[in-house]
Structure 1
Amino acid sequence: MRLVLLQLACLLGLSLGASLERKPHHCKSPPLLTGGFTFSTQNEKAWAYGGYEYDAMGERIRIFEVGTYEKKNFTYNGVMYEINHQDKTCVKKPLQTDFQPFGVPPNASLLGQFVIGSSSGPGQGLLVNSWAGEAPDGAKYMWTMTAFGCIPVSNLYQTKQFGWVSVSYINTVMGIVDPGVLNPPPFCSGKEVQPGGKPVDFFTVIENMRENSS
């Protein structure tokens, strides 16, 4: 019995060691996520703390700023809905970007594997992989994802308008409780894209959210 227990302990130790030393690889995040985020820019022109719902299968993202009635729905078929549930108003705007799924792009290079927090004891740290690359438009970026599960932790992205943008993801859980909340409400039905509307993206929406709540 002692020999059997010793063999089991050795096998368990080898298994744990192999999993912890697994080579980082390019990955995609789970297709359905719900959580919170913090957002700030290098030039300090935009910042926010809010929540998000992410649906990679339907190419939709919903973001909302905590403590306000302002809701922003992204449906990446070329439009965005700016929704105020309190006043039941809806504005449909063009988007200037394609849907960008969470994950590590194939052309990203590994910066390293790190522990956020401490590796001194169980539950004291989070093992993450950090990657850097360059977007098709030449903008530089850095993604940090959990080593297991490919859950987004943070994203640094270079923009012309704001300089470096930092997004940190918090309290993330897999799945969406009510997928219907990603659909525009009935009072958005029949809305046309705003004539002459300036195309928007995630960063300009966050800036507008800050201005609307101030």
Structure 2
Amino acid sequence: MKLLLGLCSALLLVLVLTGRCSAQTPHRCRTPALLSGSMSVSAREGQDWAVAKYRYDAIGQRIRLWEFGQVHNKSFHANMLFLFRKAVVYTIDYRNRTCQKNPLHTAFHPSHIPHNASLLSQVILGGSSAPGEGLLVNTWTGDVPETGGKYLATVTEFGCIPVSTLYYTEKSGWVVTTYFNAVKGIEDPEQFFPPPFCTDADTEEEELDFFSAFF
């Protein structure tokens, strides 16, 4: 009888602990400091779009982009290096060995879920019938007082890897970003240094923020 009660007590404890784990509230999180992957961005109801490979370094506050897309019905290719601590962005042309340098009018914002974000939902992308068929994600929403904008950000429950972001301001409308093929770490840190032919580049007068530079 004592053995039976002991087994029941142990089983009850397991059930209680399992219930606590499965009922945990999603927590606000921070994306890995070093991340590589790809992304697609769409604005103006799909009239402007771009697809890019990215390298993200929150430690050094640097972002590298290789992108192609279409803006105002014109195709473009771009190779860009954002150095937020130096407040400059380079547009690099390896074919012609030229480099455009613009002031970067944006502070670096690490990729994370802000403390004032509100949980909208937790869902499984794909299927939930068997292990490996789906991906557990959390969607958060909030306002951006600096720009008067608002956002919806979806990240993975495990790892806080970005999945998608919807960002809205009256000026830009909805900007939709989807992330894929993310890998933790940076394969080649040299990608965050401008090539030698950029050394003598004059700084242009036009200031850019991240979105205006991207497009």
TM range (shorter): 0.7 to 0.9
- Cα 1:69/1:41, change in 2 over 3 Å: closer
The one-letter code matched in structure 2 to 1:101 is P
Partner of 2:119: 110
Secondary structure (helix, strand or coil) at the match of 1:35 reads strand
Cα deviation, residue 95, structure 1: 1.6
Superposition TM-score, scaled by structure 2 size: 0.83
Secondary structure (helix, strand or coil) at the match of 1:128 reads strand
1:176 pairs with 2:186:
yes
The one-letter code matched in structure 1 to 2:214 is I
Q: Give the 5 Å matches for 1:198-209.
A: 199-207=207-215
Structure 2: distance between partners of 1:86 and 1:10 = 68
Bigger share in strand: 2
CA RMSD for the aligned pairs?
A: 2.7
- Cα 1:49/1:20, change in 2 over 3 Å: farther
Cα deviation, residue 45, structure 1: 3.6
* Structure 1 residues without counterparts, runs of 5 or longer: 208-214
* Structure 2 residues without counterparts, runs of 5 or longer: 70-75
1:165 pairs with 2:167:
no
| Structure showing greater Rg | 2
Cα deviation, residue 187, structure 1: 1.1
1:75 pairs with 2:83:
yes
The one-letter code matched in structure 2 to 1:188 is C
Cα deviation, residue 14, structure 1: 7.0
Superposition TM-score, scaled by structure 1 size: 0.84
Partner of 2:103: 94
Cα deviation, residue 76, structure 1: 0.8
- Cα 1:21/1:70, change in 2 over 3 Å: same
- Mapped contact 1:34–1:53 kept (Cα < 8 A): yes
Cα deviation, residue 25, structure 1: 1.1
- Cα 1:81/1:9, change in 2 over 3 Å: farther
Paired residues, number: 203
- Mapped contact 1:115–1:128 kept (Cα < 8 A): yes
- Mapped contact 1:45–1:162 kept (Cα < 8 A): no
Secondary structure (helix, strand or coil) at the match of 1:200 reads coil
Structure 2: distance between partners of 1:127 and 1:30 = 17
Cα deviation, residue 125, structure 1: 0.7
The one-letter code matched in structure 2 to 1:176 is I
- The percent identity for this pair of structures is 44
- Mapped contact 2:149–2:167 kept (Cα < 8 A): yes
Partner of 1:123: 132
Structure 2: distance between partners of 1:41 and 1:104 = 22
Structure 2: distance between partners of 1:202 and 1:153 = 19
- Mapped contact 1:63–1:71 kept (Cα < 8 A): yes
Partner of 2:30: 28
The equivalent position to 2:65 in structure 1, one of 57, 63, 70, is: 63
1:149 pairs with 2:159:
yes
Cα deviation, residue 160, structure 1: 3.3
- Mapped contact 1:110–1:130 kept (Cα < 8 A): yes
Structure 2: distance between partners of 1:8 and 1:74 = 56
